[in-house]
């Protein structure tokens, strides 16, 4: 790449739920900007991660996973966020799981084909392919699905081959000046990131009992006695879900709060006091006003 030419563009991470897009984004930018969990559809908003290097800046758009079922307003809002990022992007990273191919992968691939944009195939979770000899035929089969500009096998979780991906991305970006400051890694506020940390801990503590209709909203953000007071409301759709989140004697809510507070402390590099409340808003995931309040586009 000509050193005198600066490249900058939007790069959308596209794929079905739970293929590791958020883990890959965090590995690329070298910092946690998108929450992760084994639970599908953990990513609900479009998250921006910014990577700068010699002569380039890549603005990554981590999107909710494309999924076929759109029976609720929240599902439709997440699909719109993903498709909006696809339309905006200069370069697409189609992320797939090396261990399995599904109809949702096929649907994501079809979206990529229709876009007629440069696309790199990311074959993630290669460390899980056993024995290792099975990886080559898998890569050959996936590579034949489309005229990809490049194919990069990697493990986002372990960081294997992520540096090579950066080298592949840079020359595929259009010429242009940097969009963001050199030291910026995301366009999201610390309040948004704090709310996402709480939601991540909820997914990890509740696991299979996690209600689908759950959201986190920061209501308090105040300085007091050299510490930051943060108050967050966990919104659920039914009283029964509220009891699940709180747990016996409040134990689950306490566990979520302790884990989230430690991560927020680390993110802000300062002492934080975190308070959590659980409130009910009936069927908010189908309510346009509530979706807007929680940062989704219901239109």
Mean pLDDT of the chain: 87
* Cβ-Cβ contacts under 8 Å for 259 (sequence gap 6 or more): 201, 204, 205
SS3 275: strand
Distance of CA 251 to the CA centre of its chain: 28
Tokens found for residue 235: 């919104």
**What percent of the chain stands above pLDDT 90?**
62
Residue with tokens 């989140």: 245
195 and 135 in a single domain? The answer is no
Question: Residue 247 domain-assigned?
Answer: yes
User: Phi-psi bin for 37: left (phi > 0), alpha (psi -120 to 50), beta?
Assistant: beta
Question: Residue 184 domain-assigned?
Answer: no
Question: Residue 178 domain-assigned?
Answer: no
Question: Residue 230 domain-assigned?
Answer: yes
Q: Find the domain containing 282 and state its range.
A: 190-293
Buried b (16+ CB within 10 A) or exposed e, 22-37: bbbbbbbbeebbbbbb
Question: pTM for this one?
Answer: 0.79
Q: What is the pLDDT of residue 282?
A: 84
Q: What is the pLDDT of residue 64?
A: 62
CATH number at residue 147: 3.40.50.300
| 43, pLDDT greater than 80 | no
Residue with tokens 């959201």: 215
Positive or negative torsion for Cα 273, 279, 284, 285: positive
pLDDT band (50, 70, 90) for residue 7: very high
Per DSSP, 65 falls in state P
Q: What is the pLDDT of residue 87?
A: 78
Tokens found for residue 12: 């959308």
Question: Residue 177 domain-assigned?
Answer: no
CATH number at residue 256: 3.30.300.20
134 and 63 in a single domain? The answer is yes
158 and 229 in a single domain? The answer is no
- Which residues in the chain belong to E strands, given as ranges? 7-14, 47-53, 56-62, 91-97, 119-124, 150-153, 215-224, 227-236, 272-280
What pLDDT digit, counting tens, does each position of 256-299 carry?
A: 999 999 999 999 999 999 999 999 988 777 777 777 776 665 55
85 and 203 in a single domain? The answer is no
25 and 159 in a single domain? The answer is yes
Strand partners, 236: 280
135 and 208 in a single domain? The answer is no
Rounded Cα distance, 177 and 179, in Å: 6
114 and 216 in a single domain? The answer is no
Tokens found for residue 216: 């986190």
Q: What's the average model confidence in pLDDT over 137-148?
A: 96
Strand partners, 151: 121
Question: Residue 19 domain-assigned?
Answer: yes
| 166, pLDDT greater than 90 | yes
Residue with tokens 């990022």: 85
Contact 11, 21 (CB under 8 A): no
205 and 146 in a single domain? The answer is no
pLDDT band (50, 70, 90) for residue 79: low
pLDDT band (50, 70, 90) for residue 67: very low
Helices H / strands E in the chain, number of each:
9, 9
| 41, pLDDT greater than 80 | no
208 and 60 in a single domain? The answer is no
Contact 132, 114 (CB under 8 A): no
């Amino acid at each position: 790449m000509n050193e005198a030419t600066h490249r900058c563009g939007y790069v959308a991470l596209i794929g079905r739920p739970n293929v590791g897009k958020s883990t890959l984004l965090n590995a690329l930018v070298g910092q946690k900007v998108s929450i992760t969990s084994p639970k599908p559809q953990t990513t609900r908003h479009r998250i921006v991660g910014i990577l700068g290097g010699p002569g380039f800046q890549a603005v990554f758009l981590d999107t909710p996973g494309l999924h076929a079922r759109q029976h609720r307003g929240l599902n439709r809002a997440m699909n719109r966020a993903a498709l909006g990022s696809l339309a905006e992007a200069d370069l697409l990273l189609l992320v797939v799981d090396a261990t399995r191919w599904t109809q949702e992968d096929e649907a994501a691939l079809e979206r990529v084909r229709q876009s007629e944009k440069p696309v790199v195939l990311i074959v993630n979770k290669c460390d899980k392919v056993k024995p290792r000899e099975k990886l080559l035929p898998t890569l050959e089969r996936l590579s034949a699905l489309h005229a990809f500009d490049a194919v990069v096998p990697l493990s986002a979780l372990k960081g294997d081959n992520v540096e090579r991906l950066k080298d592949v991305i840079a020359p595929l970006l259009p010429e242009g000046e940097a969009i963001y400051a050199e030291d910026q890694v995301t366009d999201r506020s610390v309040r948004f990131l704090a709310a996402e940390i709480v939601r991540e801990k909820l997914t990890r503590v509740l696991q299979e009992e996690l209600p689908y209709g759950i959201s986190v909203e920061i209501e308090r953000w105040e300085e007091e006695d050299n510490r930051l007071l943060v108050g967050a409301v966990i919104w659920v759709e039914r009283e029964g879900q509220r009891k699940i989140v709180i747990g016996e004697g409040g134990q689950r809510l306490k566990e979520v709060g302790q884990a989230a507070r430690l991560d927020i402390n680390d993110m802000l590099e300062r002492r934080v006091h975190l308070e959590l409340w659980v409130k009910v808003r009936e069927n908010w995931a189908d309510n346009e006003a509530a979706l807007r309040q929680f940062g989704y586009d219901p239109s």
